[in-house]
Amino acid sequence: MTSSALSPESAQRLLEIVSKQLDLLARYDLGVAFPVQPSRTLADAGEGAAQPVQESAIESAVAVGVGQRGPKVVPLTDAQQQLWFLSQLSEEASIAYNESVSLYLSGALDLSALQHAIQALVDRHEALRIVIDPMGQEQQILPALDIQLPLVDLSNQNGQQPIAVERWLEAESRRLMDLAKGPLFRVNLLKLAPEQFLLVMTAHHIIIDGLSMSVLLHELGELYSASVAQQAVNLPAAPLFSQYVNWLSAHLQSDAMVTQESYWLEQLKGALPVLELPLDRQRPPLQSYAGAVTTLMLDQEITAALVTLSKQQGVTLFMTLFAAYTLLLHRLSGQEEVIVGIPAAGRAMPEGQRIVGYCAHLLPVRHALVDNPNFAELLQTVRNI
């Protein structure tokens, strides 16, 4: 799958998916508060060891999360359909949606307990057992999936360990996942020294988002500790992703979405601005997915000053950072209007914060800079978006 050319049928399918995404954006309140009513504003956004394993220590936690064990087929959400379509354009496009997180482990490690804890995660959470219908319409939740924990020994690298680890992580992040065959979740353990390890969890974005990774890491710690101590784990039942899909479908058809639709149609009416930054070269004709990340760490003094400013102006820290970022884009582009994407959790259903699955959405926030406001005035315009 190397060609990015679209057949007429695929092009029509893309138009349908995009239309559904726009409709979703117009009608769905994704958990970030926007002023569909005067009391709801952007102010709420962004608040957003070697003993044998005792099997019964984690069986109870697994059982409460499994629910119906038979084969289960549910439709893809609109957001999942969009990712599925983009992943079909090329292998590079699909690889770009590999989500990976690494956890440094120090001390004596019970490999058997870790293996059982990871398997318990897969048994608890439906999303980790998902495979996608080749036509991109449905997802099948497998009743069971055995997860492996390969051990990669990088402890003897003759002083080249950092390079070896970096190369391995790069290769792992670029390993293609077959959406139709799965698995779409894998775990590896890198051995750095006798009591130093790197646990690497990788999943395709179509089954997981950032908050889901946080849920998995928290539960993994609980499950592992219980396994090592041979005690029952204290975890509540895991919400089922299939229930989320059904809830979302009903939610999008509810009368409450009419107000949300009106708000978004108003926000996105007319010609939408396209950001035009001063670049040193032209964009390539075809998207390559080649890129990099630059990280800037703010020291405690600057962070404290930002927090103080936010409190003085009656806004959140998120709003202050958002205002600064949009101001930068206005200055660099010379444009009066910009649109900035804000990730939203999309977990408004009960127990939504504990769901593992792809629930997140990107909200396009339109901002206009008029009359050359000072920063305090800019903060208030952001607050009232």
| Domain 272-383 in the same topology as domain 49-247 | yes
What is the DSSP secondary-structure string of 9-41? Answer: HHHHHHHHHHHHHHHHHHH---SS---SSTT--
Residues 383, 43 contacting (CB under 8 angstroms): yes
Q: What is the pLDDT of residue 49?
A: 36
**Contact predicate 202/114, CB 8 Å:** no
User: Would you state the pLDDT for residue 70?
Assistant: 56
Residue 208 pLDDT: 96
SS3 174: coil
Length of the chain: 385
CATH class label, 49-247? alpha beta
Reading phi first (left if > 0) and then psi (alpha if -120 to 50, else beta), residue 106 is in: beta
Domain boundaries defined on the chain: 49-247, 272-383
Using one digit for the tens of pLDDT, what is the confidence trace for 257-287?
888 888 889 989 999 999 999 999 888 888 8
Q: Phi and psi (nearest 5°) for 340?
A: -120, 130
- Tokens encoding 161: 């360990």
8 A C-beta contact, residue 241 and residue 141: yes
Kindly state which CATH superfamily the domain 272-383 is placed in.
Nonribosomal peptide synthetase, condensation domain (3.30.559.30)
Low-confidence residues of the chain, pLDDT below 50? 1-8, 10-15, 17-67
pLDDT the model gives residue 285:
85
From residue 191, alpha-carbon distances to 165, 202, 295 in Å are: 10, 17, 27
Alpha helix positions (H), the chain: 8-27, 56-66, 78-88, 91-95, 111-124, 161-173, 210-229, 241-252, 257-267, 300-313, 317-333, 375-383
- Pairwise CA distance, residues 359 & 349, whole Å: 11
